Amino acid sequence: MENAWLIPLFPLLSFMILLLIGKRLREASAYVGILLTLASLVFSILVLFERFSEPSYLAKFNWLTIGDLHLTAGFEVNQLNALMLFIVSLVSFLVHTYSKGYMHGDERFHIFYAYLGLFTFAMLGLVISPNILQTYIFWELVGVGSFLLIGFYYYKEEAKAAAKKAFIMTRIGDVGLLIGMILLFWQTKSFEYSEIFNAVEAGGVSNTMITLTAILIFIGAVGKSGQFPLHTWLPDAMEGPTPVSALIHAATMVAAGVYLVAALFPLFTASKTALLTVATIGGITAIFAASIGLVQTDIKRVLAYSTVSQLGYMMLALGSAGYVAGVFHLMTHAFFKALLFLAAGSVIHAVHTQNIEEMGGLWKKLKLTAPLFLIGTLAISGVPGLSGFFSKDEILVAAWEGGHPVLFLLALIAAFMTAFYMFRLFFMVFTGEKRGKQKDVHESPSVMTMPMVLLGILAVVAGYVNTPWFGSFLGDWLVDGNPALGHSHIEGPAWIMIAATVVSLAGILLAYLIYGKRSIAPDWLSGKGDMLHTVLNNKYYIDEFYKLTVVAFVTGFSYLLRFIDVFLVEGIVKGVTGIVQGLGRTGSKMQSGQVQTYGAVAFLGLAVLVVIYALTGGYLR
Amino acid sequence: MSSIPASAFLALALILFCIGLYGALTKRNTVIVLISIELMLNAVNINLVTFSKYGINPSIDGQIFALFAMAVAAAEAAVGLAILMALYRNKKTVHIDEMNEMKN
């Protein structure tokens, strides 16, 4: 564990190598990226296994000393960090491998790998940071990586706009995080997680301040994790290459917000209001995004909204004091959502469209992708036996036992919707008649399918580390030696599990009847409630709302500033330059080149000086 | 000898200097201008010698300075004439008002 600091450095090395000699390596760049992330993965696995038997490890050194203020940097390996290291490096490694096939033939192939390296470095650095300042630095670096990768196809207008949107929207959240961080430092005189928790526990911070800082930090998490109302960047971020969507916008970066709340969990538990806020935002996001997902027709957008919705679940779990449930779902979600995105990428790779209305009947053609996609779909829908079922069940129990019956109900409805739209997606893509023009559809190369197979296996079995039936190994381990994190497993009434199963099966059945068997017309609902469909299709007009309020306000304000800039600031500047230029012009006109004129003027000047000397007697008084 | 007062020498130097200055500032021919400058230098020499003889502290220093000034003036005249030759070859003129390369 002493060498855990090496883990983020491998991808950084990959980034640097590819930046320097990537152009010469061309497609061989992939091997650099793959091998170095593999090194990270191996180290992460070693660290994870070491952490099973040994206590946490913390190393730090003085970074800056200002007066008697010491800022430290370092790294920490505790249960959460070790788990995150494993998840991030695993998904990153698989995505690196997958991209070799997906990005094949792209002109900026090596740049893509360089960016992936940078992002992986930042994300791994984020999860081993022992203090909130270091976390913040990597937090921003992760944002940069995300920005670069969303805008990878920079010649597409939408991609450019999406990259900017993602950066700006997350920045809004980051301002909250920064203020929260500074307030926390002001109150506790430290950025260290452990010292902050000690100060909070000792009662050195007033309750109002705890609530305020927790909510401000949560705003940062809201921005990064695409929670309502800052979620709109995440679906747009799907303009990036699909492997990027899988890595950043499904498995790792968007989970950073959840990770941050989990890492600062003792701070949140110290304030009832903060917890309630987290849970409410999470619950609203879960059902809100799920309902939009019902009507989207772009395969990646459906997955994007489902990501937003699942992240809402995690927040709901954390807000209901279900630390284990949230982290558990974070892990399982990383696996099955990465699988779904990679499979979606494989489908897009095969049919060259993202519109699910132009797909259909792909089950027979994509012999490997289709079953893997089905596994992912089953897992996210919460069908018993797969990973998503166990983690979602934990969350529902946590919400119920946390005393939020309304949020519990919302989560249950969202689970129904999730099952419905995921299977709608599945049936529309893989079953039925072939629609649109599909030419020479073929299965992806094995370099793309192998990572999917591995993720498929994990999507099935990852849930068994923490089940009500075979013991809550993950939960026990996560909260071991840290009572502030709550119970390892929350006991709940058995009917919750049954209800969750029934709800998800009902969703699947409905999707089957409408899109599989087609015994119910797809517009039976929209036929009755046309308005509802329009509202959902336009994503509740959130983007339009922002355009009319925030954007309009900012534009107006910037016009005012521009006016001041053009007429006031620039006026002064122009005046100054005008005076100087005028002086220069006059001066240069006097430069006639006539030596005799110069001589005359010089002599005249001398004469004047002499006269003055004579009149004043040598001194100017 | 001593019947001639110092002011007479100084007046001579003044007149010589003014003639030189007038010539240097008004003549178009560069050769004349150079000669006028020599006149001004010689006016200075007369001043130096005058003060070495009739000054408050008469000493030989002033005459030595005059000799130095003559040597420097000779060198300066040589350089000036050489520059003038080079200019004449380029511009086919010795008129100083046409030599305005430094204009603006």
Interface of A with B in 455-474 (CB under 8 A): none
Residue among A17, A34, A15, A14 at smallest CA distance from A100:
A34
Which pLDDT value is given to residue A528?
55
- Beta bridge partners, A320, equal none
For the beta carbon of residue A536, count every other beta carbon within 10 angstroms: 17
For residue B25, give the nearest of A588, A591, A600 by CB distance: A600
Question: Are the C-beta atoms of B20 and B34 separated by less than 8 Å?
Answer: no
Q: In terms of residues, how long is chain B? A: 104
* Nearest residue of chain B to residue A588 (CA atoms): B104
User: From CA A110, how far away is CA A90, in angstroms rounded?
Assistant: 21
Enter the tokens of residue A98: 């997958």
For residue A338, how many C-alpha atoms fall within 13 Å in the half-sphere facing its CB?
A: 37
State the residue for tokens 């883990």: A7
What DSSP designation does A467 have?
A: B
User: From CA A392, how far away is CA A419, in angstroms rounded?
Assistant: 12
Listing DSSP states for A531-544 in one string gives: HHHHHHHTGGGHHH
The answer to whether the Cβ–Cβ distance between A593 and B26 falls below 8 Å is: no
Torsion angle, alpha carbons of A454, A455, A456, A461, to 10: 90
Question: Are the C-beta atoms of A268 and A278 separated by less than 8 Å?
Answer: yes
Query: From the CA of B26, how many Å to the nearest CA of chain A?
Result: 7
User: From CA A455, how far away is CA A251, in angstroms rounded?
Assistant: 12
User: From CA A606, how far away is CA A611, in angstroms rounded?
Assistant: 9
Exposure class string for B27-42: b at 16+ Cβ within 10 A, else e: beebeebbebbbbbbb
Name the residue type at position A364.
K
User: From CA A108, how far away is CA A114, in angstroms rounded?
Assistant: 10
Whether residue A596 lies within 8 A of chain B, CB to CB, comes out as yes
State the residue for tokens 């909204």: A305
Query: From the CA of A12, how many Å to the nearest CA of chain B?
Result: 58
For residue A603, give the nearest of B21, B96, B101 by CB distance: B21
Residue among A128, A72, A390 at smallest CA distance from A259:
A128
Residue among A206, A7, A190, A195 at smallest CA distance from A93:
A7
- Which chain A residues are within 8 Å of B103, Cβ to Cβ? 591-593
- Which chain A residues are within 8 Å of B25, Cβ to Cβ? 596, 599-600, 603
The answer to whether the Cβ–Cβ distance between A595 and B21 falls below 8 Å is: no
Name the residue type at position B66.
A
* Nearest residue of chain A to residue B37 (CA atoms): A599
- Beta bridge partners, B95, equal B29
User: B53 in helix, strand or coil?
Assistant: helix
Which pLDDT value is given to residue A525?
59
For the beta carbon of residue A504, count every other beta carbon within 10 angstroms: 27
Residue among B61, B14, B69, A617 at smallest CA distance from B6:
B14
Enter the tokens of residue A372: 């893997």
**Backbone torsions φ then ψ of A303, nearest 5 degrees:** -65, -35
Enter the tokens of residue A512: 């089957």
Query: Distance between the two ends of chain B, CA-based, in angstroms?
Result: 54
Mean pLDDT of B41-51: 92
Enter the tokens of residue A279: 């849970």
- Which chain A residues are within 8 Å of B101, Cβ to Cβ? 593
Exposure class string for B46-57: b at 16+ Cβ within 10 A, else e: bbbbbbbbbeee
Exposure class string for A537-548: b at 16+ Cβ within 10 A, else e: eebeebeeebee
Vertex A440: Cα angle to A434 and A441 (nearest 5): 60
User: From CA A384, how far away is CA A415, in angstroms rounded?
Assistant: 13
Residue among A520, A515, A238 at smallest CA distance from A360:
A515
The answer to whether the Cβ–Cβ distance between B99 and A595 falls below 8 Å is: yes
Q: Which residues contact A308 (CB under 8 A, 6 or more apart)?
A: A226, A227, A231, A234, A235, A285, A289
The answer to whether the Cβ–Cβ distance between A593 and B103 falls below 8 Å is: yes
User: From CA A225, how far away is CA A308, in angstroms rounded?
Assistant: 7
Q: Which residues contact A151 (CB under 8 A, 6 or more apart)?
A: A159, A160, A162, A163, A164, A240
Instruction: Find the DSSP H helices in chain B.
Output: 6-26, 30-54, 61-91
Q: Which residues contact A129 (CB under 8 A, 6 or more apart)?
A: A75, A76, A135, A137, A138
- Which chain B residues are within 8 Å of A595, Cβ to Cβ? 96, 99
Residue among A282, A285, A186, A298 at smallest CA distance from A242:
A298
Instruction: Tell me the residue ranges of DSSP E strands in A519-620.
Output: none
Interface of A with B in 484-503 (CB under 8 A): none
Kindly list the distances between the CA atom of residue A79 and the CA atoms of A82, A318, A353, A395, in Å, as whole numbers in the listed order: 5, 16, 42, 20
Pairing state between β A57-66 and A69-77: antiparallel
User: From CA A281, how far away is CA A227, in angstroms rounded?
Assistant: 7
Query: From the CA of A609, how many Å to the nearest CA of chain B?
Result: 18
Phi-psi region of A382 (alpha: psi -120 to 50; beta: other; left: phi over 0): left
- Which chain B residues are within 8 Å of A607, Cβ to Cβ? none
For residue A619, how many C-alpha atoms fall within 13 Å in the half-sphere facing its CB?
A: 1
Question: Are the C-beta atoms of A380 and A448 separated by less than 8 Å?
Answer: no
* Nearest residue of chain A to residue B23 (CA atoms): A596
Question: Are the C-beta atoms of B89 and B100 separated by less than 8 Å?
Answer: no
User: From CA A583, how far away is CA A601, in angstroms rounded?
Assistant: 19
Question: Are the C-beta atoms of A51 and A79 separated by less than 8 Å?
Answer: yes
Helix H, strand E, coil C: the string for A381-414 is HCCCCCHHHHHHHHHHHHHHHCCCHHHHHHHHHH
Burial class (CB in 10 A: 0-12, 13-18, 19+), A27: middle
The answer to whether the Cβ–Cβ distance between A599 and B104 falls below 8 Å is: no
Interface of A with B in 385-424 (CB under 8 A): none
State the residue for tokens 């003559």: B70
User: From CA A120, how far away is CA B100, in angstroms rounded?
Assistant: 69
State the residue for tokens 């004349």: B32
Angle between helices A299-319 and A253-263 in degrees, nearest 10: 0
Grouped pLDDT means (10 residues each) for chain A, 621 residues: 81 87 79 87 87 80 80 83 87 88 82 88 88 88 88 85 86 89 84 82 80 88 84 83 83 85 85 86 87 83 87 87 84 88 85 76 79 87 82 84 82 86 84 70 79 85 75 72 67 78 85 75 59 70 77 88 89 93 88 84 92 79 53
